[in-house]
Amino acid sequence: MANDKVSKISKRYEIPIGPIHPALKEPIRVEAEVKGEKVVKVDVKRGFAHRGIEYMGMKRNAIQTLYLSERICGICSISHPYAFVLASEKALGIEPPPRAQYIRTIIAELERIHSHILWLGVVAHEIGFDPILFWTWKLREKVLDVLEAITGNRINYAMYMIGGVRRDIKESHILALRDMIDYYRKAADQMKDIFLSDPIYKARTKDVAKLSQDLALKLNIVGPTARAAGLRVDIRQDIPYDAYADIDVRAVVPQDIMGEVNGDAYDATLVRIYEIEQSLDIIEYCINNMPEGKLLAIPNYVALLTTIRKTQGEGIGAHEAPRGEVIHYVKYDGTRDGPVVWKVIAPSYNNINCWGPLLLGAEVADIPVVIAFIDPCLCCNDRIAFVKDENGRVLDYFEIHNMSVNKTMKIKRMLGV
Amino acid sequence: MTLATIFYAIGFPLLGIILGLLYKGIDRKISARMTSRIGPPIRQPFWDVGKLLIKETVVPENAVAWIFNVMPIVALASSMTLLLYIPFGIIKAPLEGYGDLVVILYLLTLQALAMAIGGFSAGSPFASVGAQREMILMMSYEMPLAIVITGFALIYKSFSLSTIALTPVWTLVGPVGWIGLLLLLAALLIVTPAELAKLPFDIAEAETEIAEGLLSEYSGRNLALFYLSDAVRSFAMVALEVALFFPFTFSQGFGLQFSEPVSYIIEGLWFLAKVLILYILAVTLVRTSFARFRIEQASRLFWTYVNIMALLGLILVALEVM
Amino acid sequence: MPTKAMFLMIRQLLQRPFTNPFPVKYAPKNVTKTIEKVKLGQMSINNPIPVPDGFRGKLKYDPERCIGCRLCITVCPANAMEWIPEVRKIRHYVTRCMFCGLCVDVCPGKKLPGETAPVKALSMSKEFLLADYDKYSDNLIVEPTSKEQSLNNQEPSSDQK
Amino acid sequence: MGTPWGEVSVTLKFDVPKSDLVVPTITDLMMGAETNEREIREMLGVEFEGLKNKRHLFLPDDWPEGKYPWRKDEHGVEDMIKYTHKSVTEIRAKRGENNG
């Protein structure tokens, strides 16, 4: 074994990235074979966070499933409910009131701002630029405060409901929103200054993770990653829904800003910073043109559940999440008050496809940048874990817990503590 | 054996450790304030070392155990010896006369080399990649460093640090030499973070890429020794720069005269203050405001720009002196 | 080479830190002693940032107002409510709660004599410091009656949704 | 592309007999479909003709052959999901705590 290792070391190393690694915030495994500093072979293994969440939804009623979908991921905690709500409304034939549609759009855009700023911080951290990570996350507090004021929590907002929203936006919230918009207009300029002009940031991201338009199309890349490669794709533009249908949203692509497209991590930064500004415009439009009216199409939850039990239908809901398009497929069969089939496709599901081709031939130092540049969300991507003992028997939660307690005791005895 | 020898043998390393850790604490605090954080208390590095020392030391299965365990000691010993060559204010260096700038150059290399060998012996892919990177980086920054030291040798016609520290170098050369010296200073300042494995040149320990690289397998006492050697070397390197470029004494600068014991204390504090200012400028500020380079970018930077800068400085200095 | 990031960092050095030092600025040497001191009033801790009006914290339950309609159990996504058939009330597990507030929305409440409108049995408090070592500790379980009463009156039941 | 309503989404539905679950692959046209095809293959047991990479995507590598989690005619939702929630009275009785 040892000799084998030594002979390997002289030529090629295997660098295991994950399931636990400082560059990853969630579990996934990238096995890279490295020759010097060049990656010569790469393999991506997913499924470490597969929780069978769709099955859990099929056991619950629609309202419970909606809030379960919020727990698919904490950062996209509006994107999944949004897509689920859109799909359910299509399946059930419910039209949400106009005011609710505008409020939904505002919340979704607020989430985009915080997610993009979070990404900017993460990518800075991956290249060793921690002070900028702290700075961007400091800027992010403002939007989280506004979200907390409107929805009640900093994350997991519990805002959406099939056929509307649960809470109204009051005058005081609108003041806070206007204040926030001014704050981020200045902050976006600062971010452009710092990220786009920094020599080392440029050196580390230019021509790294370079995705051509053709490859992006072939690999089904979506969201800001595809837009950074110059593809004009954006669900808000292609299949507008809710308030986006009133606003002429256009995909932000680097060729409109810089005049050329590289499709690298630098362009991805560019696209995300300009999308923050675009979101601010959308929020401003929404609060200026907010219609009056009620918030829920069916205000009583019990009535809603009864309607669902009586309705047959299926629907696909697509929402442009901060990371790309998230698609929910829901089918109601008129026998139970929850979905019989529920399938989630998160943006990272498609975006991880590009890791293989991009990592091949890249440098070891570029691995974190390639991994981070699509803004992977593995809890969205993976959604049954079985643990077996040596006889192949499936262990349940309590047995595993007891085993770990016993092991701790054994180690303690061994050490004589 | 005199009392002074005992002081230099025991007191000086102890002082070195305390100063190194203190400066590390100040560095962490200021870096935290630059990023709008409160940061750890200044005594935190002492606690870190204390905690590491009582932790279990693990030697990986694939490691060559004796090399793996010896290298931290070599690293700390070389840093300590380095400290003994640096004049402390107007107090002469303890090892005065037993070596000169060339020995210092070797001692600086030895510490980095010890870390690289330790990394290779750990038998982990992360540590091996880290060690490779460290070697490449070392090859890159040694050249400018050597040029700077040659420049000083040209001016003083001697490699002795005490001679250099006695007369400020700026008084020995004319305007052309000044430009040359400034270029050498700039080159040395760029080499400093690389020498100390700090951002933007902490490529060998890149946390997000290779999980602390060289140090990934080290734990407990061994890690504590590396931590200490890093703290001591940071102090020594900056102190060396102060001795080379800013040896102005307090009494010279302000035209004051003190009696014997008082002047020792004041000059000592003055020296520490100078080191602190340079430490904050050359280490803290730089490591807070730059991202990490890729290894080939770093070595290109050193081989082309920094080398040209240092060589130009050397030529200017040589023109002046010859 | 000075970059924009460097100026930003120097500017931040002159500003106050952004961190809210809650509960104390630096981690104390002995946490348990510090907590005891705080309880005795010998030490003060920094206050947390105030929470907004709509904040959803630990669930408050008023068994007096509960009519036993089980609507909260129907909508709760996390199955945090347990039905106790003996007293026709619910027991709430804070550790399972996901703080969505659906149960509060759906709760019909009860009109006590002399009131004009029904008042809900469930409401969201602003309490958020809920960390505990034991997920079945007393302050993480909202009982319908006092502990002695509810547990003495009934057999351990495994009936749950 | 690039205009509102400029994108058309297409849904294709196939009815395949359970005895002969084979569908031709589209990975030669669209590389990115590999992920979806691999998922459907491991979850439903539909074979894709011409699919090159047949490793499991989400399920572990030692997942038993011939077991497909998404086939609802073989096992229902109840089989797949178990509640581990227990009542506090049960937990306290198990721990031997004094109840009350």
pLDDT of A8 strictly over 50: no
Report the distance separating Cα B10 and Cα B3, nearest Å.
11
Task: Provide the pLDDT confidence category of residue A52 given band limits of 50, 70 and 90.
Answer: low
Looking at the complex, report in whole angstroms how far the Cα of residue C53 sits from the nearest Cα belonging to chain A. 7
Looking at the complex, report in whole angstroms how far the Cα of residue B34 sits from the nearest Cα belonging to chain A. 8
Is residue A156 left, alpha or beta, with left meaning phi > 0 and alpha meaning psi from -120 to 50?
Answer: left
Kindly state the average pLDDT of the residues B209-218: 78
Looking at the complex, report in whole angstroms how far the Cα of residue C81 sits from the nearest Cα belonging to chain D. 10
**Per-run averaged pLDDT (10 residues), chain D, 100 residues:** 71 80 79 79 79 74 71 65 67 64
Nearest to B292 among A21, A37, A127 (CB): A127
Task: Provide the pLDDT confidence category of residue A397 given band limits of 50, 70 and 90.
Answer: low
Task: Provide the pLDDT confidence category of residue B151 given band limits of 50, 70 and 90.
Answer: confident
B36 domain residue, yes or no? no
DSSP, residue by residue, A391-404: T-PEE-HHHHHHHH
Kind and range of the H or E run holding B28: helix B12-34
Tell if the CB–CB gap between A149 and C74 is shorter than 8 Å.
no
Report the chain A residue with the minimal C-alpha distance to residue C125: A152
Contacting residues of C for D81, CB less than 8 Å apart: none
Looking at the complex, report in whole angstroms how far the Cα of residue B121 sits from the nearest Cα belonging to chain C. 37
User: What six digits make up the tokens of D73?
Assistant: 């005619």
Q: pLDDT (tens digit, 9 = 90+) per residue, B189-207?
A: 888 888 888 878 887 777 7
Burial of C112 (0-12, 13-18, 19+ CB in 10 A): exposed
| Three-state DSSP state, A320 | strand
Q: pLDDT (tens digit, 9 = 90+) per residue, A303-333?
A: 888 888 888 888 888 888 888 888 888 888 8
Please tell me whether the peptide bond between C23 and the residue prior to it is cis, using omega within 30 degrees of 0.
yes
Nearest to C160 among D85, D99, D100 (CB): D85
User: What six digits make up the tokens of A108?
Assistant: 């979704």
Report the distance separating Cα A340 and Cα C49, nearest Å.
43
Contacting residues of A for D68, CB less than 8 Å apart: none
Question: Which residues are registered as beta bridge partners of A13?
Answer: A34
Looking at the complex, report in whole angstroms how far the Cα of residue B155 sits from the nearest Cα belonging to chain A. 36
Q: Does A8 touch chain B (CB under 8 A)?
A: no
Q: Which residues contact B33 (CB under 8 A, 6 or more apart)?
A: B39, C12, C13, C17
Check residue A385 and give its pLDDT: 45
Kindly state the average pLDDT of the residues A184-208: 85
Interface size, chain C vs chain D, as Cβ–Cβ contacts under 8 Å: 33
Report the distance separating Cα B206 and Cα B201, nearest Å.
9
Q: Which residues contact B210 (CB under 8 A, 6 or more apart)?
A: A15, A364, B126, B129, B130, B216
Domains of chain C: 1-49 (no CATH), 51-161 (3.30.70.20)
> Comparing C-alpha atoms, which of B76, B272, B123, B298 is closest to residue B198?
B298
Which of A319-333, B70-84, B168-182, B280-294 is least confident?
B168-182
Strand D47-49, strand D22-24: pairing: parallel
Kindly state the average pLDDT of the residues A176-190: 90
Report the chain B residue with the minimal C-alpha distance to residue A370: B209
Residue with the two structure tokens 């504590």: B224
Q: Which residues contact B201 (CB under 8 A, 6 or more apart)?
A: B137, B141, B193, B194, B292, B293, B298
Interface of D with A in 39-78 (CB under 8 A): 56-60, 69, 77-78
Check residue A11 and give its pLDDT: 62
D26 domain residue, yes or no? yes
Is residue A63 left, alpha or beta, with left meaning phi > 0 and alpha meaning psi from -120 to 50?
Answer: alpha
Contacting residues of B for C26, CB less than 8 Å apart: 38, 40-41
D50 domain residue, yes or no? yes
DSSP, residue by residue, B119-156: HHHT--HHHHHHHHHHHHHHHHHHHHHHHHHHHHHHHH
What is the number of structural domains in chain B? 1
Q: What angle do CA B20, B307, A201 make, to 5 degrees?
A: 70
Task: Provide the pLDDT confidence category of residue B26 given band limits of 50, 70 and 90.
Answer: very high
Q: pLDDT (tens digit, 9 = 90+) per residue, B110-146?
A: 888 888 888 888 877 788 888 888 888 888 888 888 8
Tell if the CB–CB gap between D4 and A248 is shorter than 8 Å.
yes
Buried b (16+ CB within 10 A) or exposed e, B222-255: bbbbbbbbbbbbbbbbbbbbbbbbbbebbeeeee
DSSP, residue by residue, A127-190: TT-HHHHHHHHHHHHHHHHHHHHHHSSSS----EETTEESS---HHHHHHHHHHHHHHHHHHHH
Contact: chain A with chain C (3+ CB pairs below 8 Å): yes
Burial of C154 (0-12, 13-18, 19+ CB in 10 A): middle
Nearest to C136 among D83, D92, D100 (CB): D92
Cα dihedral A18, A22, A25, A27 in deg (nearest 10): 10
Check residue B119 and give its pLDDT: 83
With both helix axes pointing from N to C terminus, report the angle between A98-126 and A79-92 in degrees, rounded to the nearest 10: 150
Greater model confidence, C71 or A4 = C71
Kindly state the average pLDDT of the residues B307-319: 86
Q: Which residues contact B264 (CB under 8 A, 6 or more apart)?
A: B89, B90, B91
| Three-state DSSP state, A31 | strand
Report the distance separating Cα B271 and Cα B19, nearest Å.
12
User: What six digits make up the tokens of C113?
Assistant: 């004599």
pLDDT of A50 strictly over 60: yes
Per-residue pLDDT 10s for chain C (161 aa) are 677 888 888 888 888 888 877 777 777 777 778 778 877 777 777 777 788 888 888 888 888 888 888 888 888 888 888 888 888 888 888 888 888 888 888 888 788 777 788 888 888 888 877 777 777 777 778 877 654 454 444 444 444 33
Task: Provide the pLDDT confidence category of residue A51 given band limits of 50, 70 and 90.
Answer: low
| Three-state DSSP state, C119 | strand
Buried b (16+ CB within 10 A) or exposed e, C87-110: bebbbbbbeebbbbbbbbbbbebb
Of these ranges, A9-13, A24-28, A259-263, the one predicted with the greatest mean pLDDT is A259-263
Residue with the two structure tokens 């669900």: A235
Report the distance separating Cα A409 and Cα A417, nearest Å.
10
Check residue B282 and give its pLDDT: 86
Kindly state the average pLDDT of the residues B24-49: 88
By residue count, chain D amounts to 100
Rg (CA), chain C: 22
Check residue B12 and give its pLDDT: 76
Contacting residues of B for C3, CB less than 8 Å apart: 289-290
User: Would you state the CATH architecture of domain A53-345?
Assistant: Orthogonal Bundle (1.10)
Q: pLDDT (tens digit, 9 = 90+) per residue, A107-157?
A: 889 888 988 898 888 888 888 888 888 889 888 888 888 888 888 888 888
Q: What angle do CA C24, C27, C29 make, to 5 degrees?
A: 120
B240 domain residue, yes or no? yes
Q: Does A22 touch chain B (CB under 8 A)?
A: yes
Check residue A254 and give its pLDDT: 83
Report the chain A residue with the minimal C-alpha distance to residue C73: A64
What is the number of structural domains in chain D? 1
Q: Does C147 touch chain D (CB under 8 A)?
A: yes
Contacting residues of A for C4, CB less than 8 Å apart: 193-194, 197-198
Contact: chain B with chain D (3+ CB pairs below 8 Å): no
Report the distance separating Cα A278 and Cα A224, nearest Å.
13
Q: Report percent pLDDT > 70 for chain B.
A: 93
Nearest to A63 among C12, C75, C98 (CB): C75
Long-range pairs, B149-157, Cβ under 8 A, ≥24: B149/B101, B149/B102, B149/B105, B150/B314, B151/B180, B151/B181, B151/B184, B151/B310, B151/B313, B151/B314, B151/B317, B151/B318, B152/B101, B152/B244, B153/B101, B154/B314, B154/B317, B154/B318, B154/B321, B155/B317, B155/B321
Burial of B67 (0-12, 13-18, 19+ CB in 10 A): middle
D89 domain residue, yes or no? yes
User: Which domain covers residue B264, as residue numbers?
Assistant: 56-321
Decide: B220 and B56 in contact? Cβ < 8 Å: yes
Which letter does DSSP use for residue A352 in this model? G
| Three-state DSSP state, A18 | coil
Residue with the two structure tokens 């919340």: A107
Mean pLDDT of chain A: 80
Contacting residues of D for C91, CB less than 8 Å apart: 87-88
User: What six digits make up the tokens of A285?
Assistant: 């439009």
Interface size, chain A vs chain C, as Cβ–Cβ contacts under 8 Å: 77
Report the chain A residue with the minimal C-alpha distance to residue B128: A9
Q: Mapped to the 3 state alphabet, what secondary structure does D29-84 carry?
A: CCCCHHHHHHHHHHHHCCEEECCCCCCCCCCCCCCCCCCCCCCCCCCCHHHHCCCC
User: Which domain covers residue D59, as residue numbers?
Assistant: 22-95
Check residue A60 and give its pLDDT: 80
Q: Which residues contact B175 (CB under 8 A, 6 or more apart)?
A: none
Check residue A378 and give its pLDDT: 61
Report the distance separating Cα B48 and Cα B28, nearest Å.
13
Report the distance separating Cα D3 and Cα B3, nearest Å.
87
Q: How far is CA A195 from CA A121, A198, A204, A208, in A?
A: 10, 6, 11, 15
Kindly state the average pLDDT of the residues A68-82: 82
Report the distance separating Cα A354 and Cα A215, nearest Å.
8
pLDDT of A386 strictly over 50: no
Report the distance separating Cα C63 and Cα B194, nearest Å.
67
Kindly state the average pLDDT of the residues B274-302: 86
Check residue A9 and give its pLDDT: 47
| Three-state DSSP state, D23 | strand
> Comparing C-alpha atoms, which of B199, B205, B209 is closest to residue B288?
B199
Kindly state the average pLDDT of the residues B226-239: 88
Nearest to A364 among B210, B212, B289 (CB): B210
Q: Which residues contact B27 (CB under 8 A, 6 or more apart)?
A: B234, B279, B280, B283, B284
Contacting residues of B for A366, CB less than 8 Å apart: 294
Report the distance separating Cα D3 and Cα A238, nearest Å.
7
Report the distance separating Cα B268 and Cα B274, nearest Å.
10
D10 domain residue, yes or no? no
Nearest to B37 among C6, C19, C26 (CB): C19
The distance of Cα A129 from the centroid of its chain, to the nearest Å, equals 22
Looking at the complex, report in whole angstroms how far the Cα of residue C98 sits from the nearest Cα belonging to chain A. 9
Check residue A49 and give its pLDDT: 65
